[in-house]
Amino acid sequence: QLEIGMTSPERLHEESYTFSSDIWSLGCLLYELAALQSPFYENRLNLYLLTKKIERGSYPPLPSNVYSSKLRQVVSDCLQPIPDDRPDIEYVYGVALDMTATAPAPPSAVSIAAAPT
């Protein structure tokens, strides 16, 4: 299920492979990194039902109380069933830059080293 779980709807129908297919897979990967499971995974889901979920782009949304609206939106944009409705990589990269610019800085190595033991 993991292999087909990242396959774009157009590739399920053996249509041509495009950069848009990569954007779909990136959306699946981002979702999986956040939720720790594939967007289309469901216990006991047979291959037919899994295919239908992918074709519709039907997946549980990432919780709004845990994940930023920017992350949830970029995942949603990447997982659009129609390839022309998906963003290009420049858009995704821009969102990533924007998210890192507004993220709090990680603790420095000095402050960690200076912590009492």
Q: What is the pLDDT of residues 80-107, one digit of tens each?
A: 999 999 999 999 999 999 988 876 777 6
What would the mean pLDDT of 48-58 be, rounded to a whole number? 89
- Contact between 32 and 39 under an 8 Å Cβ cutoff? The reply is yes
Predicted local distance difference test score (pLDDT) of residue 117: 59
The domain defined by 2-113 carries CATH number 1.10.510.10? yes
Q: Which residue is listed with tokens 């830059």?
A: 97
Percentage of the residues of the chain whose pLDDT score is greater than 70 = 85
- Whether residue 114 is predicted with pLDDT greater than 70 in this model: the reply is no
Predicted local distance difference test score (pLDDT) of residue 115: 56
- Widest distance between CA atoms in the chain: 59
In whole numbers, what is the pLDDT of the chain averaged over residues? Answer: 85
